[in-house]
Amino acid sequence: MFKWRLKEKMAEKGIWRCTDLTKLLNAHGVNITSSMVTIIVDKMPERINTKVLDALCDILECTPADILIHTSSGKSAEKLLKAVGDEIGIKPGPKPRKKAEQSDVPSSILGPKGGVIN
């Protein structure tokens, strides 16, 4: 689940009107109309041009993660596979292998020319 925080980030910077943000975006080199800015300010867009997002981050002095907040739904791939994996024909993959411990590594290893490295 995502939360769109563009309005909040604008308010933190004292930008209250979409027309002001439009002027800033245009000055930043992003050619966008005031009506399009109003749309992305009022409602989270399904997709956004990376140049627009980059300009927004520069103008608002933030990162994309400050504008678009992700909250986990709790439905990880592992949980979904356990719940419905058989029904949809997906089998869980192999369990991760145990990492080699220090004692599993031989005390001497052959070097690049066949010599022994201790």
Domains observed in the chain? 2-70 (1.10.260)
Q: How many residues does the chain have?
A: 118
Structure confidence at residue 1 as a pLDDT band (50, 70, 90) = confident
pTM of the predicted protein model: 0.64
- Identify the helix (H) or strand (E) that includes residue 35: helix 34-42
Instruction: Classify 68 as helix, strand or coil.
Output: strand
Tens-place pLDDT, residues 85-111? 566 666 666 777 776 665 555 656 666
Which of 7-21, 40-54, 77-91 is predicted with the least confidence, judged by mean pLDDT? Answer: 77-91
Q: What is the pLDDT of residue 70?
A: 87
CB-count burial class (<10 Å; 0-12, 13-18, 19+) for 55? buried
